[in-house]
Amino acid sequence: MYNKTLPVLKIMQEISFIELLGYSIESNRIKSFIEEYKLNEEIRIQKNTDGYIYEADTWKEGDIISLTFIGNKMYSQNYGTPIDVSDNSSDELIVSQITVDNNFSKNKEKSPIDLPFSLELGDYKDLIFEKLKKKPYDRSKSTYGYAWWYQYEDFRILTALNDKYELIWLRVMKLDKYEIEKDKLKKKLRKQNKNIKAENINYITGFKNKLPTIEWKRRKSEGDGIFTDESIEIIEKLLIDYIAQIITLTKKRNATTIYNSVKKITKNINRVNHRLNVIDTLEREELCNFINKIVRKTGLNIDSEIDLTEEWREW
């Protein structure tokens, strides 16, 4: 534990604020951080149906820095053991995300806190690559310009860029243990080529008789208004094509391309759902189970807790 009498700014020069991820709000480190940057004391808390805190934040209009928390119960389940918890039996708040946004697009002022990897607001994309020593694993357009994501061992960084590719705000987020396991899986995919079993193709072919859309047709006939003939037909074709692709890739015994096929089917369903809005909670579970089970049937060794669609899924 650090000496509480030391100025917080001096402490923050000694550590990256990424190191605050996983700390309890009851720790002296987080209390001092909240006090120094005058963060909102009226933290908004959201609980799930079991009464556990799944999200809370300090953000209020005009804040330059904001913290996002998860309750201890869900943090321990999804992320592992938090740091410096005062009472393990309570659901005290644990830092899971930190955002720095000083409205750089308007005022062009530097961040009031040192950013990780010596980043500066206003850095051009090439300098960001140089400082982070890698290129983003995901890039997308956004209302403010571009969202570029970088991933490390146990956290990820969102760099928000304007249309000139300048850094305008930044967010760091804790990776949950399932994301960490998925990252390990990706790194070892080539070693899993030997696990792919061509003899499993018959099982994979059998999934044509287990399409989620078979059940959807029944529910539609009983009056479920979420479905249309068009939506069922389009998604059914996507799933049949997915089965055919997995069969082809299983014959080739290529674990990486089998894994990547999940991205393609998931994004295709994203596009359909954006247009036709056919997927609710039950349909999501049915599709996820279907897509994940087929991949596992190829012989790929994947933790049962990992949902391969989650990285790209928008439904």
| Structure confidence at residue 287 as a pLDDT band (50, 70, 90) | very high
| Structure confidence at residue 16 as a pLDDT band (50, 70, 90) | confident
Identify the pLDDT of residue 292. 96
Q: pTM for the full model? A: 0.70
Strands (E), 8-111: 44-47, 53-57, 65-71, 93-100
- CA atoms 67, 111, 150, 2: torsion sign: negative
pLDDT (tens digit, 9 = 90+) per residue, 106-132?
999 999 899 999 999 999 999 999 999
Greatest C-alpha distance within the chain: 70
Identify the pLDDT of residue 15. 47
Give CA separation, 32 vs 9, 10, 82, 117, 255, in Å.
Answer: 10, 12, 18, 23, 48
Identify the pLDDT of residue 272. 95
What residues does each domain of the chain span? 8-175, 179-297
Evaluate if residue 259 carries a pLDDT over 50: yes
Evaluate if residue 2 carries a pLDDT over 80: no
Evaluate if residue 89 carries a pLDDT over 90: no
Evaluate if residue 13 carries a pLDDT over 70: no
Evaluate if residue 179 carries a pLDDT over 80: yes
| Structure confidence at residue 83 as a pLDDT band (50, 70, 90) | very high
